[in-house]
Structure 1
């Protein structure tokens, strides 16, 4: 679809259920390598306009497009600098929008906020930089010299155009230890007023605000990584340590009710998975609302312009919704949308001031995401206003099935198995795909390009949320510290055995593929399990742990401390857990892929593994991406990587894997 006509054509589509797929056709490699057509959508307070963050085809730029909702006409398309990205699109008044400048990191689907804020009116003739640090250019001094990072926290509806901004000072640049400053900012004029300054030594910077915009909960970390929590019992109280009666270990985020005393928040008392509590902040008491045994509470769902909490969603280990009151107005509406969009999750995003229009988003394991506006004043009419990947519509994609199994030492783990498209019954050639991290990252139910590509080529895909993964509390993460080559690998192995026992995997056709820590696992697994795998693909992987440890000594103190805790410092032990040091034990064909500009896992890791395999008489197939970092970002390189992976896999666990027929 042509970029200029994107918004107009999307708006012209009345929502209809997609026609069933008559024949499964192999999806072109390039479809999996494209950037999404759309990153974000925001609905204006009046409901007259939507604002869209629209990426360029090459992914090098994301612009702001303002569209009139009634007829889909484009009011303005705005750029905020050459090769600049925008995210966090927020309407601060009826005709005023604030965005964050962002950066697209290689290997990541979504943008990352850089801590700079910009604002514009509808027509773009009054663009303004609110917060930024602009370098001097020759003899020209950069106008903005904000020594820190700014994040929009709250729109103040009672003061049109004004917002609260959380400003994190760079250490020693503003304040003794790098303070956190809350500003009230007029997005029309750029003027700012300091509301309060929080000393880093007292409390921290991650804040929860009540409905009046008063910071009430503050979160930081101690030097050992444990949470440090402070609170204000009332809006006028001084900061004090959060009592254990509210949260024994951690409190994550939270939403205040209109009384500015009732807080809905995710709480952990001893490092276990979070549960949702309704908290009386002044009294220091709480009532459990919902929980899902052994997994963190997901997103707190809110409704109306005033953000009234009405339930939670989960995507792990399987998609689910829990409402506080099934008979509430918003629970009924949300549930009706779930029934309308079967097999997908539904999220409310924006409401007009009178709550007559609702912007919502749907997504699923076979859907990258679609945006719709619900008009409650017009018979709940639904209009599609944007699709992230319209080129997949009507094409056969694979269902991601949640699985669970018990490890050799009796721990229940979760994961996902995605069967090949149209593969029929019986064991399938399997690609085991461990996620990166290894700590705090986790696989969740939803659209995954790699998974869908592999399934479209006839392969089953296994993902295991091994110990150390996120989503199940800090204890679950911490127990896998210093277990890169031990407990974590055992968990992955037990997952593979489960897939074999359940007749999901053909035991004679299994390959490993993973990125970063997943790349480490891809090379470590054949060492630990001789004969289990027929090949391995390491993507931007870590292969030499002593080398990795030494590289982290140049990072900031918090990163260095984390690696000391989670990896250890015994060079001899780390060497025994390094695939590059044990290359002679890798008895399977190997493919190594790396970005030449990888600043996270450097080329020295690739060279160590590649050289060791050559010395062992088992040279790897290699693919190096020029200009690529920790994961490829150029669609042409991504497509080429997929082509090479397909050929490599078909050679070693195919060729019958490529059969694709009607589902």
Structure 2
């Protein structure tokens, strides 16, 4: 059993007794830490840390020697950073980032910077900087760069993949070998069009997937030997698409997460010389979400799947690293433990623990003495005993499919229920873990059900595509079937069901009482899509050719169908109270959508309450606005969720 020692805060409490519910602000605040990365020598961790006002995300370097020594680095006023990569014991690369309200974690803008531990010798590796007077901006990279791989044998060196933004609709994919200390770069690979490229441990490109303009794979190529030519990889080995791949230290074995024909991904060990493959254990029917590796650059020893309650499959449960991971799980009962990285000597391990009632914490395991250092907690003010458990369930849809869902609730008996459809809708999916929206409702006496309806991610491309052109059809049937399932299991009071959703979830929240008026007492749409005709004209999706092609794929091009499946065009069928919340500067789902819904409802005499937050985009970022939304929704439900 691992022994716990503390660096930053107390160990998370574990109690099944219900405590006072977390406040609306508790669930509105963003995490104190976004990302943690362990140095290769195990002496430091680097963390991305938002400032108190959350207008910046800074890089913090913390010594693990117990001294408490901390170095905080800023990369510019009102700037955010993400994607920490240690390229040497004393060198760190980060990406300039921006925040996204519905997912507050900063997301890379494709500009890379590097620095020493003490903030000296900062270099701009990739980015675009305009000339200023007589000063010429050093970098003119109009595109997106990301670190593809660190070359351990050459400290400070990294492979960076770059895609140009102004080089036509299908620009080349280029790989550079970059000295992160000096910024010097050499081009080492160029592929016509969009591609994913996979490298062996020496930094040699060995496999690549080429895509068309709609991001569909069109060819998979490989180098069977280090110095061999590029040839097409046999379909019997590569399947339809390789999503992730890495190589043994000798470069003779490829490990690949791939799909054979659009079904959920599987994990394979591929003998490159003999052109054979062996499927390794994973949970059938669900995408492989993670691979467990035996040390830094080591062989895989297990796979992870996060559909339902996360599943871990060890290839050999008696192996050294399987036992190590199993010991970590015992140290954190009821939680998922992810291995993020090892030190160069494999003596220290950075892990991330989280669960339905733990927003997340980072620890360093010292394998010499089995000690466990708590580095940081994402949201230390959240206490597990305050929260409700999330239960994975399965049910049959009326169309015959087995669908996955999650039920979050405290206490027993039939409770008022919130149907909480996720956004997207194609690709994203609900998963077991801490969800502030679900916890807000559950800790206030509601059962919450979240459904991975057809079209959701996590179960393969075919399942995702089964939702195409079904926004107002079978996808809505799936949600309604979940309501019946919850009522039949006596989790939900059939007379007290409401729905709440954001983005596509907002669309579904308003389509449900249109399609199934007998099921619902009220509906809440948050930055939702309400008019599909407007969606094809306004917002950032139809602004681009790729966006317009996407809309045609998922919605079709029949305007009569758009109208039939638009809440704003069917308000005469809404017989329940409605609440609408919107960000005034939302570029994804602009005010046109909100106004279309609000005006149509007002014209038809349907009761509607609204909240418009100034300065907010596609979801509210400011915790005060998030808190205000929760409180308004809570008040709305108290007045409208009962007959």
Shared topology, TM-score over 0.5?
Answer: yes
In the alignment, structure 1 residue 644 sits paired with structure 2 residue 632: yes
Q: Tell me which of 482, 488, 496 is aligned to 2:469.
A: 482
Aligned to 2:393: 403
In the alignment, structure 1 residue 363 sits paired with structure 2 residue 354: yes
SS class of match (1:333) = helix
Q: Tell me which of 526, 529, 532 is aligned to 1:539.
A: 526
Aligned-partner Cα distance in 2 for 1:210–1:171: 30
Aligned to 2:160: 165
Aligned to 2:205: 215
CA contact (8 A) 2:217 2:241 kept: yes
SS class of match (2:624) = helix
CA contact (8 A) 1:295 1:316 kept: yes
In the alignment, structure 1 residue 570 sits paired with structure 2 residue 551: no
Aligned to 1:632: 620
Deviation at 1:181, TM superposition (A): 1.4
Aligned-partner Cα distance in 2 for 1:627–1:261: 54
SS class of match (2:228) = coil
Alpha-carbon RMSD across the aligned residues, in angstroms, is 1.9
Aligned-partner Cα distance in 2 for 1:570–1:60: 43
Aligned-partner Cα distance in 1 for 2:512–2:430: 19
- Tell me the alpha carbon deviations over residues 188-214 of structure 1, each in whole angstroms, 9 at most, x when there is no partner: 1111111122221xxx33211111111
In the alignment, structure 1 residue 328 sits paired with structure 2 residue 328: no
**Using a 3 Å threshold, how does the CA distance of structure 1 residues 386 and 179 change in structure 2: closer, same or farther?**
same
Deviation at 1:553, TM superposition (A): 7.5
Aligned to 2:124: 129
CA contact (8 A) 2:33 2:376 kept: yes
Deviation at 1:329, TM superposition (A): 0.8
**Using a 3 Å threshold, how does the CA distance of structure 1 residues 349 and 140 change in structure 2: closer, same or farther?**
same
Aligned-partner Cα distance in 1 for 2:42–2:238: 39
Which shows bigger deviation, 348-357 or 496-505?
Answer: 348-357
In the alignment, structure 1 residue 91 sits paired with structure 2 residue 86: yes
SS class of match (1:623) = strand
Aligned-partner Cα distance in 2 for 1:643–1:179: 49
Aligned to 1:374: 365
Aligned to 1:301: 292
Aligned-partner Cα distance in 1 for 2:44–2:476: 51
In the alignment, structure 1 residue 581 sits paired with structure 2 residue 569: yes
Q: Tell me which of 181, 186, 195 is aligned to 1:188.
A: 181
TM-score by length of 2: 0.96
Aligned-partner Cα distance in 2 for 1:560–1:654: 42
Query: Pairwise mapping of residues 404-419 of structure 1 onto structure 2 (< 5 A)?
Result: 404-419=394-409
Deviation at 1:633, TM superposition (A): 0.5
Aligned-partner Cα distance in 1 for 2:19–2:449: 22
Q: Tell me which of 199, 208, 217 is aligned to 2:192.
A: 199
CA contact (8 A) 1:116 1:150 kept: yes
In the alignment, structure 1 residue 74 sits paired with structure 2 residue 64: no
Deviation at 1:367, TM superposition (A): 0.7
Deviation at 1:147, TM superposition (A): 2.3
- Tell me the alpha carbon deviations over residues 487-542 of structure 1, each in whole angstroms, 9 at most, x when there is no partner: 10011111111011111100011001001111011111101111210000000000
- Tell me the alpha carbon deviations over residues 304-327 of structure 1, each in whole angstroms, 9 at most, x when there is no partner: 222432111122122110011111
In the alignment, structure 1 residue 558 sits paired with structure 2 residue 551: no
Aligned to 2:412: 425
Structure 1 unaligned spans of 5+: 1-8, 656-663
Aligned to 1:5: none
CA contact (8 A) 2:96 2:111 kept: yes
In the alignment, structure 1 residue 450 sits paired with structure 2 residue 437: yes
Aligned to 1:661: none
Count how many residue pairs are aligned between Structure 1 and Structure 2. Answer: 637
Q: Tell me which of 11, 15, 18 is aligned to 2:7.
A: 11
Aligned to 2:425: 438
Aligned to 1:142: 137
CA contact (8 A) 2:7 2:66 kept: yes
Query: Pairwise mapping of residues 275-294 of structure 1 onto structure 2 (< 5 A)?
Result: 275-294=266-285
CA contact (8 A) 2:221 2:233 kept: yes
CA contact (8 A) 1:303 1:348 kept: no
CA contact (8 A) 2:282 2:305 kept: no
Aligned-partner Cα distance in 2 for 1:23–1:437: 33
Q: Tell me which of 493, 512, 535 is aligned to 2:499.
A: 512
Aligned to 2:342: 351
Aligned-partner Cα distance in 2 for 1:519–1:487: 17
CA contact (8 A) 2:11 2:374 kept: no
In the alignment, structure 1 residue 463 sits paired with structure 2 residue 450: yes
Q: Tell me which of 23, 30, 38 is aligned to 2:25.
A: 30
In the alignment, structure 1 residue 49 sits paired with structure 2 residue 49: no
Aligned-partner Cα distance in 2 for 1:578–1:124: 53
- Tell me the alpha carbon deviations over residues 216-258 of structure 1, each in whole angstroms, 9 at most, x when there is no partner: 2222332454323222222223323332111331221122111
CA contact (8 A) 1:171 1:177 kept: no
CA contact (8 A) 2:358 2:384 kept: no
Aligned-partner Cα distance in 2 for 1:241–1:234: 13
Structure 2 unaligned spans of 5+: none
Aligned-partner Cα distance in 2 for 1:72–1:651: 54
Aligned-partner Cα distance in 1 for 2:642–2:122: 56
Deviation at 1:149, TM superposition (A): 1.3
SS class of match (1:217) = strand
CA contact (8 A) 1:225 1:562 kept: no
In the alignment, structure 1 residue 521 sits paired with structure 2 residue 531: no
